[in-house]
Chains A and B, each alone.
Chain A
């Protein structure tokens, strides 16, 4: 083990364990896109607190320039052909737009969304059919409606492959190469595993048994076409098949395949979102891993009773679309299941309507605010934390 921060940086040590939970989250793989460096080339990131703080400082400077009459171009979305986490970029673009309106400089900025999604509202989950009030609508139509209302333009099917100072180079699914200029950008990088090497006690390399980028778990990793994907491909217990005392919940596990349909450009380059596992699914899968370990310790049994496949689990995404107790807005979307079950819900694009719904308005902002405080309360391990869901 090598320490990477604080006083013990670069120090190495050996630790023995009975159980190992790999819950590292992803590596922010900025280097996969040349020039995509937070703080350089007019690029920003909101992937860490420090990044977000710098992004706000840069945006604030840009707002001051706009107040002096400087017209700007803002580009937000995904910074790699296989990025995920479109939801975070979606939330950010709406907040930036609202902030510009708050500062009365909205007319000075051209705001553009760029993404590897095939359609708006894909979010790396192959889009969804959802209940919207008394209507049934596609997530594509809902997000288009929001962008149209906010005056946000969009570029889709785009794999960003290089960034120069204020210029994003990208390839589209039809094989064409384009570039987009900007004065401020926030592009989500691709995520990868941390590149860990693994050795057993005899110093034998066991990396192949543990990692395929991310950590191998009880998924079916057999390569097969999109049409043959099943819900059974997805893991249930997040236990490594070779070592029963090693688990990888959250984004640390290697998914069997993407959720969105894989697409290659005419030049043969893949341009489609990787599967998101962040947020609520991370909390649920981590808890079930902990519950299984507790059971094993208490009962001495090797059976894992707690299971949670992304194909049999609901998720909620409450997207802030602007701050303000009475002027704020939020877009609330729930989906069940996270990974579409096209067999069970064949007529509704793999999702259960009613449990998959969307709504826009001030209530969403209040809910986001409530969840913000609830999660901080839970993180502080205060009384009755079990009442707050992941």
Chain B
């Protein structure tokens, strides 16, 4: 299968500081929720 390429528009989004700042806040919160969201065993549940 042919490799998907990163389009020029996607590159613009990846480098735009304003869009990326919004994304920074979003992914910081999301990462925090996933990572600090708790952990447990698997044998009792």
**CB within 8 Å of B: which residues of A?**
137, 141, 144-146, 148-149, 231-232, 234, 236-237, 280, 284, 288, 307-309, 311-316, 318, 326-327, 329, 332, 334, 336, 341, 355, 357, 359-364, 366-367, 370, 389-390
Contacts and interface: CB of A to CB of B under 8 A. Distances in A.
A363 to B, nearest CB: 4
Given A234-B42, A309-B39, A361-B13, A316 B5 contact: no
A341 to B, nearest CB: 8
Interface of B: 3-6, 13-17, 20-21, 23-24, 27-28, 30-32, 34-37, 39-43, 45
A288 B36 CA distance: 13
8 contacts: A145-B3, A149-B6, A288-B39, A312-B39, A312-B41, A332-B31, A362-B15, A363-B21
B35 A149 contact: no
A284 B39 CA distance: 9
Contacts, number: 98
Contacts of A363: 20-21, 23-24, 27
A146 B4 CA distance: 9
Contacts of A327: 15
Nearest to B10: A360
A325 to B, nearest CB: 9
Contacts of B34: 314, 316, 334, 336, 355
Contacts of A232: 42-43
A68 B45 CA distance: 63
A364 B16 CA distance: 13
